[in-house]
Amino acid sequence: MNVAELIRQKRDGGALAPDDIRALIAAYTDGTLPDYQAAALLMAVYFRGLDDRELDAWTLAMLHSGDVLDLSEIPGIKVDKHSTGGVGDMISIALAPLVAACGVPVPMISGRGLGHTGGTLDKLEAIPGFSVNLTIEKFRSQLATVGCALCGQTERLAPADRKLYALRDVTGTVESVPLIASSILSKKLAEGIDALVLDVKVGSGAFMKTLEQARTLAKTLVAIGRGAGKRVTAFLTDMDQPLGRRVGNAIEVQEAILTLTGMGSPDVRELTLALGAEMLVLGGVAADEAAGRAKMIGAIESGAGLAKLAEIVAAQGGDPRAILEQKLPTVATASVVVAPRAGTVAAIKADEVGLAALALGAGRLRKEDAVDPAVGLELLRKVGEPVGRGEPVVALHHRDGRGLDEARRRIERAYRISDEPAAPKATRPLVIEVMR
């Protein structure tokens, strides 16, 4: 295999043969293809894309780079959810236990942060003692006994994607429809699911900035999933401002806990209910969306969802008191960013908010960087809310001033304050479109 020639071929707009794609993916998985050549290949794909034949081969090569689970012996329809990535997107941490508490098994394999977006695994690891590294045997047994497992890819599940995912994060090749689609579906098909709900984000804080891009990605994901015999629903949801009011790791877990107690931000609650209701319908425990919502609300009001999260945490080596008593990592220092003038918050650039959190240490600039679980930020004002001159709009929770100046500059760029005294109308709803 002449790797340099294949990179040039894709760089110049040519199509790669399925056998060459399989060989490239296998070589990167076993370490014989170095990072610098893999990065060049990813950049060529970023600019030139993959046609349908290439995309199928790329996805299947990543899927079969490791084991594919068979969960048929576990009763129930196994349903997972995946988000394409956003800012303040802690939905999975509340959603998965709620759905499991309603009787649908949730085998959820998640990823780490990509670029300006946070990762579910990094957030879960902010819970003291919580292990996201489960063996396949532990994953299967926990799903059978607890009804939900929240973990990362094992050495044996889609190992090619695990390596490429980390490389994309640091080589500017995240925002690519074929790379996103193949990454998501290779993981999800490997975990043995029967059905999948997709949350495809669109807006300033998403990788897909426009509705057209998001629709293209959603259609691609649905087509690949259905082609593999799975039931798939895709939601297009707004990410023009962060979800909720907290961005980071432990601080987002706090928001998820608030949602499970019925006190979370309205947008987080609404999206959790919308996605969860669809998961319950696909899982066969709710006849329709209304029935699914009712079950989800019941699991919040009864405390069953919070109890299930504590059970998952305990099963994976974590301290359930972190959930039940809010014993999560914090930092002692916080600084505020204030409004330069009075008015109404007209817009918040979610990507700048995500990059502000990254500057504080809540994400990675390089593959080997450590994530600080305690740092992050709180949005004290969101779109449509009034603010006076000199009043705080964001609280920055930092460790010894690390990244504070950059975070402050990004927040100042993120916020646009209007002279209009009344709240501006939302440009679009939280759930924009549903593809079934």
Q: Look up 161 and say whether it is catalytic.
A: yes
8 Å CB contact between 309 and 260: yes
Instruction: Give the pLDDT of residue 290.
Output: 98
Instruction: Give the pLDDT of residue 427.
Output: 64
Instruction: Give the pLDDT of residue 269.
Output: 98
Q: How far is CA 154 from CA 114, 228, 279, 436, in A?
A: 19, 22, 24, 30
Q: Which domains are present in the chain?
A: 3-49 (1.20.970.10), 79-324 (3.40.1030.10), 333-418 (3.90.1170.30)
308-332: per-residue pLDDT in tens? 999 999 999 999 999 999 899 999 9
Which position among 168, 201, 245, 308 bears the catalytic label?
Answer: 168
Which position among 80, 89, 161, 169 bears the catalytic label?
Answer: 161
272 φ, ψ to 5°?
A: -60, -45
Which position among 48, 81, 82, 269 bears the catalytic label?
Answer: 82
Lookup: tokens for 313: 């945490």
Q: Look up 168 and say whether it is catalytic.
A: yes
Lookup: tokens for 271: 């999206």
193-227: per-residue pLDDT in tens? 999 999 999 999 998 999 999 999 999 999 999 98
- For residues 42 and 434, give the distance between their C-alpha atoms in angstroms, rounded to a whole number: 30
Instruction: Give the pLDDT of residue 174.
Output: 85
Residues of the chain scoring pLDDT < 70: 114-115, 367, 421-427
Which position among 183, 186, 204, 265 bears the catalytic label?
Answer: 183
Which position among 81, 162, 163, 187 bears the catalytic label?
Answer: 187
Q: Look up 82 and say whether it is catalytic.
A: yes
